[in-house]
Chains A and B, each alone.
Chain A
């Protein structure tokens, strides 16, 4: 390559490649935006990306479907993802802080065993989790989806890295010399310093639970407790042979991604994958 001396190279080709990638990623989203505004007739007759006239009637139809079960699914998903991610963040931060800032017997062993959880395929867990929860009388309840979602080994790993990078040992030592108890140090020193990392862990876990399909699919039989993913799947499964239901599925798909996309666009600076790297210039 003899690009030597080219001081002001035009970034046309790289820009074009990236824009093509962006176009590819936006295509299905644009399509669903357009399709959800179409009436049944328009869906099959008009241009795929041309807006239609039926958005509000589609939303009304979807809201009327089985007495508004779609909104129940939406609320369920928010509950699973919100509460699950909150508890998950708390558990991960406590564990990560303990692993990063204390020396104690069994530290490495506990870390390795917990991290080993990342490697266990979800399938090995989901079926027996269902059987065990069924024995405890918890299958087909909110708990069945919530409880297995709390432990997230990768979050513990991230929390440990973040704790060792963000909390100076000297600060903890100074606090101890001043006679502060461990719980007070956790509350006053560790948690405030780890807050940005906690937001990141929360967001990733929130999305993971929001998008999860296998676990609720296995755990729940009663569609009153379904999250959106399982609800939309059953809607598709019943509607696949009835093009009349296509509008409901399409509108449901659009409404189900709006909250996450909003979260994603407003919380941009927290979407970081490298917690140890300190600041990310974006």
Chain B
């Protein structure tokens, strides 16, 4: 009367469970995970919070300049990265690229860019061009290329190829095909990915200062080193509010675009 229950692939289930257990055991041992330690030190957490409260609001005026610098870094990173990610994404899209070799090279370039986190780029650029916001802006530019080009090349691959082929058929060049046939179809997704990258960049720019790449994170680092936890709490609060506001704005714009 009932349909038969699908058979289970027991070897696969056992192998997966074994792998998960082994991985978890190896990791928990490696990092010294212990609930007992966590519970014993929870009082330390309470002390930390009581030291952080109330946040030192008299420190707020001194945050204004670094805060603006942080936003400047995020804007520059998003604009430079956003522009450079266009060719990277186009050449990584299988249906638009200029031959297999270009596609393969660009795709791997993109994947390598994606492996390194934002703060690694910040450390590298701080070494190359010196400490300060310029290093941060360059780091976020590279990070933005990695974010946008991967996502956007996937949307470019899913466009309707009728229009680009029509442009080619009437004698359009490759660039004209992109300009009039391909890119307009994926313009909205580009804008929404650029906004998403901007959100990530604002969040990242807040902490770039920890490695000397400018912005509000530099103040955070000095205050933390001096155990001024009321000030650290204020900075964290400012970062939190800023990130939430930017997210709201960007989500509102994105939902209007869709």
Real binding pair: no
